[in-house]
Amino acid sequence: MAAAVIGFEGVTKALLQGVVGKEPEVDGEEGEEGGEKAKEVGEQMDEDDDETDYAWTDPLTMALTAAAILCRVDDMKTLIDKGAHADYEEEDGWLGLPLHGAAMGGSLDAIRLISEHTFGEDPDIKIDCLHTGNTGLHFAAQYGHAEAVQFFLDADFEPDERNKNAQTPLFLAASGGHVDALNRLLELDYKRAEEKASRMSDEEYLTMQHSMVDVDADDYRARTPMCIAVQRGYYDVVERLMWRGELDINRRNTEEYGMTYLMTAASKGDKGIFDHLLGHPEIKKHLKDSSGHGLLKHAAVGGNEQIVRQVLSWGKADVNLRGADDSTPIMWAAIRGHESIVQLLIDHGAAVDLVTSQLHLRMMSFLGVLGEPNTNMNDIDDQLMGALTGQVAVLVGATALDAAAHGGHVGTMRLLMSQPGVEIDRPDMDGRTPFANAALTGHKAVVRLLLAQGDRVNPEAADKDGCTPLILAARAGDAGVVRVLLEEAHVDSSRTDKKGYSALTHVAKQGQLLHEDVVKVLLPFIRSKREIETAREAAESERMRALLTSYLQKMPEGENE
C-alpha cells in the first residue's frame, strides 16, 4: 500500500517542495535584484545532506502524508486502518505530520480526517513542522488553499505565527500570489472585530483592527508580504495590501540595499505595479537607497523604457548620479544590455566616459576570486565593508563600456564605442581592458567585435600580473574564446606572465576537464617542447600529464626551442 501511494508520479516532488519548506515553483520566476543572498531554511537539500531515508522508518506514515497531499481520502482511511500513525513525525528527518500534508493538498475532508484521528474530540492541532516550523495554516496559505486557511483560522491558529524563516502565513500566501488565501487572513481582522464590536469602544475597535494580522511582518531576509509580492510581480496581491492603513508604503528592505517597493518595481521593469504604487498618496519618488542610488538607477536596471522616460520626465532625476561605488545609471543599463535605455540616457545628458571606484576589483582581491585572498583588515574601509555586508550595490566594470563587455552585450558595446570621448582600450586598476575582461568572462562575440577595431585595441595588453587576454581566457577554461584569439596574428600563444607561466602552463595547473579542451586548442600552436614539458611539470592531474606526454611523443625531434 505504501509503495503504491508513494509510487504515484509526482509525489516525491510534492513532498520535497512542501514538507521541507520550499515555496511552490513558479514558471519563469526571476530572482531578486542582486541575486540570491541566502537560501531559505530547508529550501534546497544538497546530496550530502539528503535525509530521505529517515522517512522510511515508518513507510506507512510517509504514504499517509503522500495520500493527504494528493487528497486521496479513501487511501488515507485504509492506511490508518493498516497502522499508519496520524500523529507521527520524524524528529531528525524531513517528514512532516500527515496534517501538514493535508494542508498542502487543501482537502478539508483530509484535514478533518487527520485531525480527528490525531487529536480526538478536543483537537489541539497547532503543532508546527519540526523541520520548517510551518503550521497547518502556513502550509495552507503557502499552497493557496483558501478554504483550508479558513479552517485553521476558525480553529484559532495564530495568524502571525512565524516559521523558522520568520515567515508568517500572510507572507507565504503573498509569496505565491495566492490572493484568495491572503484575503482570508486579512479579513480575519474585520470578522473578529465585527463579532466583538458591540462590546468595544470605537478606539478599542480600531486598535484591534490594526493588531491582529501584521501586514508589515518581515522574514529573516527583511522581506515583507508587500515586498515579496512586488518582487514577484503579483499585481492583485499588491493591490490588496497597499491600501491597508497600517502598511508603510515607503518601507525599505534592509537586505536589498534599502530599496523601497517603488524601487523594486522599477528594477523589475513592472510598469503595472510601478504605476499602481505611484497612485498611493503617501508614496515618495525621490528617495535614495543605501548605495546612494535614486529611482533612475533601478529603472535602468529594470530595462523598461516607459518607466525610465517617466522618471526622467519628473525633472528631478540626476542622470549622472553616482552611487557609493561611483557607478551611474547608464553603467547599470550597459551591464544589463538595455541598449535602448543607454541611448535614452545619453540623449538626456548621461556621461559615457565616467569611471567607477572599481569596488568590484577590491572585493575580488579581498575574497581571492582570481588568486590568493587579500584579507588585510587595514584595507577594509566603509565602502568595502558596505559591499561585503550587502549594503552597497557593486557594479562589475570600470566604465559603461567595460560593464557592457563584462555582460557580453554586443549591441550596447557598438553604441557606446560610437560615442565621442569613449576610450575603447582603457584599462581598469588591475590593468585589464574591456577586451581582456570580455576574454576572461567568455564573451566570444564581444571579443570578435573588439578585434575588428584594428589598432584601437591591443589584443596583447597584459594586466598587472602580466596575464594577456589569451592567458585569462585559457585559465577560465573557455576553448571558444581561446580559438578566436589564436586566429589573430598579433596574439603570441607562448607569451608568459610575470611568473613565467604561459597560457598552456596556466591551463595545465587548473587540471579540470573543461581545461583539457583548451589544451587541445593550444597545443598545435606550441612549437617548443620545453614549454610543453614545463606545463607537464606544473600539471596536478594525471589526466593532464598524460595528455601532454602523449603530445610530446608525437612532436618531431627537431622542435626543441
User: Where does residue 132 rank: exposed (0-12), middle (13-18), buried (19+ CB within 10 A)?
Assistant: buried
Q: How confident is the model at residue 559 (pLDDT cuts 50, 70, 90)?
A: low
**pLDDT at residue number 9:** 40
In sequence order, the β-bridge partners of residue 259 are 253
Between CA 217 and CA 226, with CA 223 as vertex, the angle to 5 degrees is 75
**pLDDT at residue number 15:** 40
Q: Is the pLDDT of residue 218 over 90?
A: yes
Matching fold, domains 256-372+389-423 and 459-560: yes
What's this model's pTM, rounded to 2 decimal places?
A: 0.84
**pLDDT at residue number 29:** 42
CATH 1.10.260.30 fits 256-372+389-423, yes or no: no
Alpha carbon 267 to chain centroid, angstroms: 14
Are the C-beta atoms of 182 and 173 separated by less than 8 Å?
yes
What values do phi and psi take at 378, rounded to 5? -70, -20
Q: Which residue bears the cell 492506511?
A: 79
Closest CA to 297 of 283, 284, 277, 311: 311
**pLDDT at residue number 425:** 97
Identity (one letter) of the amino acid at 367? Answer: L
**pLDDT at residue number 384:** 78
Q: What CATH homologous superfamily does 459-560 map to?
A: Ankyrin repeat-containing domain (1.25.40.20)
Residue 90 to residue 156: CA distance in whole angstroms: 26
Residue 41 to residue 60: CA distance in whole angstroms: 27
Q: In this predicted model, which residue has the larger pLDDT, 387 or 172?
A: 172
Q: How confident is the model at residue 188 (pLDDT cuts 50, 70, 90)?
A: confident
Are the C-beta atoms of 470 and 501 separated by less than 8 Å?
no
Work out the average pLDDT over 252-260: 94
pLDDT in tens, 472-505: 999 999 999 999 999 998 999 999 999 999 999 9
Residue 516 to residue 524: CA distance in whole angstroms: 14
Cell numbers linked to 260: 523601497
**pLDDT at residue number 211:** 52
Give the list of residues 6+ apart from residue 71 with CB closer than 8 angstroms, or none. Answer: 105, 106, 107, 109, 110
pLDDT in tens, 150-183: 999 998 899 999 999 999 999 999 999 999 999 9
Cell numbers linked to 501: 607561466
**pLDDT at residue number 200:** 63
Q: Radius of gyration over alpha carbons of the chain, in Å?
A: 30
pLDDT in tens, 116-131: 887 655 555 667 788 8
pLDDT in tens, 62-93: 899 999 999 999 999 999 999 888 876 666 55
**pLDDT at residue number 2:** 47
Work out the average pLDDT over 352-365: 91
Q: Is the pLDDT of residue 184 over 80?
A: yes
Q: Mean of the per-residue pLDDT values for the chain? A: 85
Identity (one letter) of the amino acid at 57? Answer: T
Q: Which of 11-15, 375-379, 415-419, 450-454 shows the lowest per-residue confidence on average (mean pLDDT)?
A: 11-15
Q: How confident is the model at residue 284 (pLDDT cuts 50, 70, 90)?
A: very high
Q: DSSP letters along 32-101, please? A: PTT--S-PPTTSS--GGG--HHHHTTSHHHHHHHHHHHTT-HHHHHHHHHTT--TT---SSSS---HHHH
pLDDT in tens, 15-64: 434 333 444 444 444 444 444 433 333 333 343 444 444 445 678 888 99
Percent of the chain whose predicted confidence (pLDDT) is above 90:
66
**pLDDT at residue number 542:** 92
Q: In this predicted model, which residue has the larger pLDDT, 191 or 307?
A: 307
**pLDDT at residue number 202:** 64
Residue 177 to residue 238: CA distance in whole angstroms: 9
Give the list of residues 6+ apart from residue 315 with CB closer than 8 angstroms, or none. Answer: none
**pLDDT at residue number 372:** 66
Q: Is the pLDDT of residue 548 over 70?
A: yes
**pLDDT at residue number 55:** 44
**pLDDT at residue number 365:** 82
For the chain, what are the domain ranges? 256-372+389-423, 459-560
Q: In this predicted model, which residue has the larger pLDDT, 1 or 412?
A: 412
